[in-house]
Structure formats: structure tokens, C-alpha cells
Structure 1
Amino acid sequence: MTNLERLLSQYAAYHLDRNNIVTHFVGIPLIVFSILCLTARAGVEISGFSVTLAMVLIVLSSIYYISLDKLFGVLMLILFALVYPLAVNIAALPMWSWLGASIGIFVVGWVFQFVGHFFEKKKPAFVDDLIGLAIGPLFVLAEFVFLLGLRKPLHERILKEAQMKRAEMDMKAHTVS
């Protein structure tokens, strides 16, 4: 099992309900976008070029995602590049408008997340493993790719492993109660 399969199947074990996955299609992009908005305002000028904290986060997370899977990593980088200009525009708003929009988007994203976990009847994955915060965006991208009917063998391996992990989680929950 590759590192990608291990991480995605661990995350997927908390996300087997279709309603939960759908809410994550909205919630996670909103949360990631809000973080870009919040961090696009902090930066430095280097030889007349503005380097923002958001850019640094995009580069570092893209390197991480590419190290896990080249296709998913490049797709994630493309998505980041597409939304970055909008994040910069929001960061350029007056202080309270920028903060209000960024925090508002963040809160709405988390509301979607928690509604999804209500359907799932499971806590979010990051509660047990903080790497879930980094894997969430990759999970949503992978689920979208799988929804398009692409990379079926990978999807089947992840789903099979996630179902086994979920069964183990459920068994532990029953023995503790």
C-alpha cells in the first residue's frame, strides 16, 4: 500500500457516508480558500515581487501533495493557482471587510463539515490524527476524480481499506462502551 493509499483510506474511514462526502465538497474548499484569504495579506517584497504567506503555503502543500501523487498534486496546484487571485483580492479589502469575509467563509466551511459528520455519526478525522487537516483537501480532490470514473483501481483499494479500518473503529467503540 502506498503512502497515498494509507493516508486517503485512513481519512476515508471517517467519510463513508455519501451525505458527509457531499458536505465536504463544499466545506473543505471553503476552509482552504479562507486560509488563503487570511494569509494572502501577510507577505514581503523581494526584488519588487510580493511573496505572501499564502504563496508559501501553496508551494509547501503542493510539494507535499505531489510527493504523494503526481497527478493529484499537480491538479491541486492548478486549483490553488486558480483561486489565489481571488484570495488576493479579498486580502486587499479594508481590514474589517477582509477579516469578516475570511472568517465568515471559514466558519461556513466548518458548519458544512460538522453537518456532514452528523450524517456520518463519526467525529472528524483530524481529531484522531492532525494529518487529516492536510489530507482533507486531497481527499475531496480524489473523490471528485473518482466520481468522474477515473483511477478506479486506486479508488477500489482505498475504499476497501477504509471499510476495514471503519470496521475496526466500530469494534473498538463497542468494546469500550
Structure 2
Amino acid sequence: MKTLNDHLAQYAAYHRDPRNIQTHFVGVPMIMLAVVVLLSRPGWSVGGVPVSPAVLAALASCVFYARLDLRYAGAMALVLAAMLAAGHWLAGQSTALWLGAGLGLFAVGWVIQFVGHFYEGRKPAFVDDLMGLLIGPLFVIAELGFALGLRRSVQDAVHARSGPVRLRAGPQRG
């Protein structure tokens, strides 16, 4: 199994332009929330606890993240718990509101992602490896931590393999 640093470095190689990273701080959470919202129906109750495909997917994701790093898994669990609460609430609303919120967040989130990759001059990581869809949210959490001065050893390992973050002069054609 790949390590945390392996996954983050592979993903980071597609994200070295700071404008692209910045778009990910908006686009990735929007896409994550959209998926949680859309998977929050159908829902049922098990012992008074709401369960849905979103809850099952979030649990599976947290297990994967925990196998990589317990601190990042904890951060992802908190984010996913908040998104599950929002998704559960939206799933209880009208079909139009639930579906409109889910599809709207999904579409706008991807537009923002593709704008970032336009500046990057490189396709999104998931095009070459579908694991990028699961690593993207972890990358955002890691980058937020790096910006706050946390997990310097992880940041150094990722940058040693993917190169430093650098501003490009303009859109690159590859």
C-alpha cells in the first residue's frame, strides 16, 4: 500500500501552481459536499442513528485515511461529519432543493477545479489515477496544515518528490 507521502506527492505533482491549489480550497469541498448531499438519499434509521450511502462512504473513506495517518484521518472525520449533517438536512428537504443543491455544488465545484487546472496547464490527477478523487480532499487538508506551519516533515517529503509550489507566468499547454 502506498504511504501518505506517496499519495500526497503523486497528487501534488499535478498541483504546483498556487492558483490551482487555491481553487482546490473551494472546489474540492464543494464537490465533496455535493457527493455527500446526493448520497444522503435514500436514508434510513438504525437504532435512531441516520444511515445512508453517504454515511457508509464516509466511514469507508475514514478507514482509508486512518490507514495512511491518524491525525489527517481525524481532521477528515470532522469535515465529513459536518458534511454528513448538512447532507442529512438537505436530504430531508424537497426533492428539488436536495437535488438542486447537490447538482449545483457538483457542477460549480468542477468548474472551479478546471479553472485551476487551466492555470496549472495540466489535467486533474484523477484522469491518470482514480485514487486522486479520494486523495484530493486529503491534499486540501494537508495544504491547509502546511499553510499553518503544521506537519513540516510531510510538507518537506512531498515537496522533495513533487517540487516546490511555483507561480506560472500563464496558462501552459501540455
Establish whether TM, by shorter chain, passes 0.5. Answer: yes
Give the 3-state SS of the residue equivalent to 1:130 in structure 2.
coil
Shift of 1:94: 0.9
Calculate the TM-score normalised by the size of structure 1: 0.88
4+ long deviations beyond 6 Å: none
Distance in 2, matches of 1:97 and 1:112, equals 22
Distance in 2, matches of 1:95 and 1:105, equals 15
Unaligned runs of 5+ in 2: 165-172
Report the count of equivalent residues.
Answer: 165
- 1:17-166 aligned at under 5 Å gives the runs 17-163=17-163
Distance in 2, matches of 1:124 and 1:82, equals 26
Task: Give the percent of matched residue pairs that are identical in Structure 1 and Structure 2.
Answer: 43
Shift of 1:46: 2.6
Do the aligned partners of residues 47 and 129 (structure 1) sit closer, same or farther apart at CA in structure 2, a change above 3 Å counting?
same
Deviation track 1:51-98 (CA, whole Å, cap 9, x = no partner) reads 111111111101100110110001100111122211111111211221
Shift of 1:41: 1.6
Which one has a larger percent helix, Structure 1 or Structure 2?
1
Distance in 2, matches of 1:154 and 1:127, equals 25
Shift of 1:48: 4.2
Distance in 2, matches of 1:47 and 1:71, equals 29
Distance in 2, matches of 1:138 and 1:48, equals 30
Q: Aligned letter for 1:4?
A: L
Give the 3-state SS of the residue equivalent to 1:50 in structure 2.
strand
Give the 3-state SS of the residue equivalent to 1:40 in structure 2.
coil
Calculate the TM-score normalised by the size of structure 2: 0.90
